[in-house]
Amino acid sequence: MNLDRIGFLLTSILAAAGCAAQPFLRADSPVEAAGVRVELVDQRCDREIDPNWSSADILGLEVRVKVTNATANAIGFDPAKVRLLVDGESRNPNRSDRSGTVPTGGSKVFEVGFLERDGNLACNVPMALGVAGAATVGGSALPLRPISFLVSRDDI
């Protein structure tokens, strides 16, 4: 079974079980650069046993980020460029909203999803979202620092 199919199944299970988005147990303050602010809104996290791999579980993490534009021009945000930072590795999302434009004085929420097969990852492991390069002003990427977070105290 490939990761896309497992991702679909895991997402379907989360939706069917009524797993609503939850606040983070702990999250850094919003990050800002050149009038652009990025903050974590909420998350859904689950860990499932992979029936095909005895040594690795599958972490399913959905994160919503809010991007606020206080610049004089519209900005771009590409959630596909957001990275999950954990255990010294940078991991690409397996799905994300399309890139979009945030008008001057406006805000927009984007969703990013990660599906990782790794026996060391769980919802109670400290992680961070790397957002540098996801926000652009006039075609130039903003140097936003990562946002650290903890989803849960429990290994779910």
pLDDT at 2: 55
- Which amino acid appears at position 23 of this protein? P
DSSP helix/strand/coil, 4:
helix
> What is the enclosing helix (H) or strand (E) of 9?
helix 3-16
Phi, psi angle pair for 81, to nearest 5°: -95, 0
pLDDT at 21: 76
Cα 103 to Cα 15: distance, rounded to the nearest angstrom: 31
Domains of the chain: 3-150 (2.60.40)
Phi, psi angle pair for 98, to nearest 5°: -70, 155
Cα 80 to Cα 112: distance, rounded to the nearest angstrom: 7
What is the reported pTM? Answer: 0.83
Cα 11 to Cα 62: distance, rounded to the nearest angstrom: 9
> Buried (b) or exposed (e) across 119-151, using 16+ Cβ within 10 A?
eebbbebebbbbbbebbbbeeeebebebbebeb
DSSP helix/strand/coil, 136:
strand
In the chain, which stretches have pLDDT less than 70?
Answer: 1-20, 53-56, 156
